[in-house]
Amino acid sequence: MPCEVAVKCVLPVIRAMIAKRLVRDHGLKQVEAANLLGVSQPAISLYSRKLRGKAMDLEGEEEISAMVDEIARSLARKEISYRDFVMKFCDVCKAVRKKGLMCKLHKAFDPRIEVEKCKLCKLVTSICH
pLDDT digits (tens, 9 = 90+) for 21-71: 999 999 999 999 999 999 999 999 999 999 888 888 999 999 999 999 999
The whole-angstrom separation of Cα 74 and Cα 72 is 5
- Number of domains the chain is built from: 1
Does the pTM surpass 0.95? The reply is: no
Which residue range forms the structural domain that includes residue 23?
Answer: 2-127
Distance CA 68, CA 121 (A): 20
Q: What single letter denotes the amino acid at residue 12? A: P
**Whole-number Å distance between alpha carbons of 68 and 82:** 15
φ and ψ of 94, to 5 deg: -60, -40
Q: Is 65 exposed, middle or buried (0-12, 13-18, 19+ CB in 10 A)?
A: middle
Of 18, 122, 19, whose CA–CA distance to 67 is shortest? 18
